[in-house]
Every structure is written in C-alpha cells, then in structure tokens.
Amino acid sequence: MNAIQKRASGGLTLLVLLLLFIGATIVSNLVLRGARIDLTANNEYTLSEGSKEVIAGIDEPINLYFYFSDEASRDLPPVRTYAQRVRELLEEMAGRSGGKLRLSVIDPQPFSEEEDEAAAYGLQSVPVGSTGEKLFFGLAGSNSLNGRAAIPFFQPDRELFLEYEVAKLVQALVKPDKPVIGLISSLPLVGGFDPATQRMSDPWAVYQQLADLFEVRPLGTELTTIDEAVKLLLIVHPKALSEDTQYAIDQFLLKGGRAIVFVDPNAGADTSGNDPNNPSAAMFADKSSNLPKLFEAWGVEYKADEVVVDRALGLQVQVSANEPPVTHPLILGLRSAQMNADDLLTAKLEQLNVDSVGQLKLKEGSALTLEPLLQSSADSATVSTERIRFLPDPRELLKDFTPSGENHVIAARLSGKLKSAFPDRAEREGHVAEAAEDVQLIVFADADLLTNRLWVQVQNFFGQSLVRPFADNGDLVVNAADMLSGSPALISIRGRNSSARPFTVVEAMRRAADERFRETEVQLQERLNETEQKINELQAGKDEESALILSPEQQAEIQRFQEEKLKIRKELRDVRRSLDQDIQRLGATLKFINIALVPLLVIAVALALWSLRRRRRRQVAATGV
C-alpha cells in the first residue's frame, strides 16, 4: 500500500469515526433524554418520592411563573446563586411532568406589564441598592380553573423548605379546596364564656391562625362518627373521652385520617374545676388528660401523673410581686438544641415555651416508630403531679433535684401500621380492624403551649386584635397542621441541606488564628493593666506639688510598656499575615490540582494507554499473530 492509499485509508477511517460519533450522540440524546446522575453530597438535584407523586397526580396543565429580577440582583451573589438553585429545581419538576407543568421564567422590568402581573399574583418586591431598584424573586402558579397560588419571595434562609414549598404550591393548584380540620377539645380554643371573668372570651391566637388557613370544624367531645370531609383531627386536652368518641378516633385513623394530639399531665389552661364560690377547689381539680385506650393499643407510654422538671431550661417567672423573678423548672424555654433539626416541622423554629409537660415513649413491641420532635435537656427528671399541686415556690423542686441524664421526649411524630383498639366491635358495620397504610400522628405531651400566655401578646387596637409573637408556638402548630392535612406525598418530603458548601478547612484555619489573636490580645491587656498598676503605685508616693510631674521611674515604665505594645501589635499582625499566607497557599494548591495536576494525570493516563496499545501492535506485527 503506497503513501497515497494510506492517507486515503486514514481519511476514510476518520470520516467513519466522525459519522459514528455523530450517530452515537443522536441516539444517546433520544434514548437517554432526561437521564441524569446526581453526584452532589446532599442529592440536591434529585426529587424526593413525594414530589414525584405530586407531579404524577396532575390531571390538568398547571402554569408556573418564576419571577426573578436579574438586573436588580447583579450585586447580590448569594441571591443569584439561590435563584439558580430554585430555577434548576423548577426545571427538574417541569421536565418530569410530561408537559403538565409549564414553566415560564420572567425578568420583570421596571414599569412593565410583567411587573404589574407579579404584583397581581401577590409577589413581594424588595428594594435593593442605593437607587431602590425592585427585586422580584418569587413563584406564581395558575390552573385551568383560574385558581392561583404563589410563593411571594424565596428566602435563602429557608432553602431547607424549598422542595416542600414548591410541591405544596403545585398540590394546592391540583386540589385548591381548603383542608378540613376537625377539632375535639376540652379547652376553649374557639372562645366562649369564661367563668373566671364572667365574660365572653376571644378565640385563642393559635385557633385564629388555623382558621385563616384551614376550615376548622369544632366537633365537640361526644361523637360517634367523623365526617369523611375531615382530613385531620386536632385533639386538644382530651379529658375523660367516652369509649364511643375514642372509637370514632380509632376508626378515623385506620381509614387513612391523620391526627395531632395534645395531652397534658397538668394543664394550667384547664379551668373546668374552678368554682367562683370556692377558689381553693381549683387546687384539688384534676387537670390531666389522656387517651388511655388508644395509647395502650398503639404502644405509647405516657403517664398522666408525671411532669418533667428541667433545671437547665427553666424560664424566669415572677411568682411574687415583692420578689425578683425566679427560675421555674416546669415552665421551659426550648431552643434549637431541643428540637429535631432534620424534621421540617421544627427545623427552623428558634424558641418554644411549654408548661408542666409530660414525656412520651414507646412500649416494647409497639407497631409504631417514634421520631422525637421536642426534648428536654439531660439536666432533667420527672416528678409526680401531686408534688406540684400545692407548690407555692417552684424553687422547692430543685432542693433535692437529681437529674436523670435523659432527654425526655415532649413531642414526637409517630407512624406505622396499627390495629384497632376496639377488637370487640369487629361485628359493627364498616369496622376497620387494621390500617391499610402507615398511620400518621403527631403527639404533644403538653396542651398549654397553645395558650396565648406562652407565645403571644394580643392587644386591642381600635377594635382590631394585634398579635405579637414572642415565641414560635403558633408556627409549630400551623406547620404540623399544614403537613398532616396535605397529601401523603407532601408529608413524605423531608428538608434538604443548604446547597452552599462551607469552606470547612479555611474556617478551621480562621478559628485557630482567631484563638491565637485573642490570646495575644489578652496578653496585651494584662501587660497594660500591670503597667497602669505600677504607674499608680509610683504616683501614690508623691506629694500634691509633684503629682502632675512624671517621675523618671514612671517615664521608664511608660516607655517599657510602649515598646511591649509595639511588639505585641507586631505579633498580632504576624498572626493575621500568617493566616492570609496559609489561605493563599491552600488556594494556590487547589488551583494547581484543578487546573494543572488533574489534566496532567488525564494526559499521562492517555499516553500510557496509547503506548500500551502501540507496544501490543508492534508485538502482533513482529510475531504475525
């Protein structure tokens, strides 16, 4: 074969390879369209099964309008990064919907129709920059029945809830009716006549919040059936409920309903035993609540005659007008450390106030799974409710206090397959003996957290009630109702970690440098104090005439301190300079690895493979095999 034939053969080979590459690309685009591999640490680009179920349930097309002001956000890198994250999630959901979710990305310009449309949907604009440009960063949606829903503004600090909130918006457009909540309560959440004040009382703030978002139907405490329209039961302080009522609750849950239960070993809001003619009667009244028949069947251990005492979380309370506030180990302020950070229900709450709480456990052999939502600190223990009944000073509880070292569960999410607590009623028409799917329950061992006094101030302003929360109790209850009243798909969606990846090595270096910096500053302050003390000692030995004149000893002491101060300041600068050098060195190393080392390794591997194949060809040519 001559040189011309070799060149022709080589050209033909390249042409064939090019055609094969193009063909393979076209085939892969057709066959693997939509296929992705998510290699992120938190699976940020993988939809949860709950979101997929919500998307699969779309019957009619839904239009989504993502409004983001690109120009107004030009100087806000964190916002732009989060906006990209939101857009990618929306595109992923739209891509999986088979055309049922129609996404439009809109950059509303000032004084444009798009800006007016965004405002009409209820989206919020935030002024940014010195010129006050309006930043829109929200999502609006509409369905074929002209139903509308919106997320007014995507807040970066709520990235944990991003997928849940978008899926919830889609679900609201699929099923736009307000969820129905059935209320079973022995406490006056809806207001009514107050025997203590002999007046009509207003609804509690938590009830008003729920009524704004849901259709709340008071069911009383004596019932035998629950309407099928009710999706969620709110059971508050169930005192001595009849077996018929407990049976109605049992069947409601086994048929797929959900419930939020608030039991309490000592509810301060329970005024049922109050007698205006005998004020001391309230001290002897039973203020506990329980669901004994249901809890026993569910395998839930809750003692209605025990309360949790917590020395570390007790709030300061005024028990006497003539004395300063004291720590009350029964009235607790729970912080984020006592809340489940992995559950959307409690993930972003900061403070919850509770009073005289019980504890929840699962008995051995229970069919349920318990996920703690709220817990006490380890510096806690349980005591009998009899001990706190006649307790004038809460400090008495701490005199012989011995902590158990246990974090007592105050609230929990319960799920699992349940059997009826009333097998003796199996012959009744419509009786369900066992749940077909996992039952969803949230149980609180405190009902007082619903009362206004623990979380909100309500003021009357010209006939309008102004609500000013000082704790997150209301958000907790609304979150629970919101999640359990939604579809099972929404309940299954869990929070995602932030997509922002911290520079942990750099932060560790900064912390170490800061510690060295503070140590050096402390040394400087100590030397300053010593110098001032010596100068004062020298000054004390002078008479009035020479008091304003510095002695040679004082001048020498000041000079020595000035020299030490310059020396220490140099040490401080060296610490900062060393930190900068370490960070720059780390950055240079990473750049070398990413820009030079990895490509060089790829080239080296390629050359090695090429050399190996060439050697094999030579061996084949030499041996003729």
**613-616 long-range Cβ contacts below 8 angstroms, 24+ apart:** none
Give alpha helix (H) positions in 437-551.
473-485, 488-492, 504-540
pLDDT tops 80 at residue 49:
yes
pLDDT, one tens digit per residue, over 4-21 is 555 555 566 667 666 776
User: Tokens at residue 339, please?
Assistant: 């809340």
Residue in 577, 267, 255 with CA at minimum distance from that of residue 435:
255
Q: Are strands 361-362 and 215-218 parallel, antiparallel or unpaired?
A: unpaired
User: Which of 585 and 205 is assigned the larger pLDDT?
Assistant: 205
User: Tokens at residue 406, please?
Assistant: 């246990």
Mean pLDDT of 12-37: 62
Give alpha helix (H) positions in 75-228.
77-96, 113-120, 162-174, 205-213
User: Which of 26 and 469 is assigned the larger pLDDT?
Assistant: 469
Output the average pLDDT for the chain.
82
Number of Cβ within 10 Å of residue 427's Cβ equals 6
User: Which of 151 and 553 is assigned the larger pLDDT?
Assistant: 151
Contact yes or no for 444/410 (Cβ under 8 A): yes
Contact yes or no for 276/316 (Cβ under 8 A): no
180-272+283-485 maps to CATH 3.40.50.880: yes
Mean pLDDT of 294-299: 95
pLDDT for 184 equals: 97
Query: Given pLDDT bands bounded at 50, 70 and 90, which one contains residue 244?
Result: very high
**Class of residue 266 by CB neighbours under 10 A (exposed 0-12, middle 13-18, buried 19+):** buried
pLDDT for 342 equals: 86
User: Tokens at residue 387, please?
Assistant: 């001990």
pLDDT tops 90 at residue 257:
yes
Task: Give φ, ψ of 171 to 5 degrees.
Answer: -65, -35
pLDDT for 297 equals: 94
pTM of this prediction? 0.67
User: Tokens at residue 457, please?
Assistant: 């101030």
Q: What is the 3-state secondary structure (H, E, C) of 333-368?
A: EECHHHECCCCCCCCCCCCEEEECCCCCEECCCCCE
Query: Given pLDDT bands bounded at 50, 70 and 90, which one contains residue 442?
Result: very high
Task: Give φ, ψ of 194 to 5 degrees.
Answer: -100, 110
User: Tokens at residue 524, please?
Assistant: 């400087």
pLDDT for 253 equals: 96
Contact yes or no for 383/400 (Cβ under 8 A): no
Q: What is the DSSP letter of 413?
A: E
CATH architecture of 49-173: 3-Layer(aba) Sandwich (3.40)
pLDDT tops 80 at residue 536:
no
Residue in 167, 26, 197, 23 with CA at minimum distance from that of residue 90:
167
pLDDT tops 60 at residue 504:
no
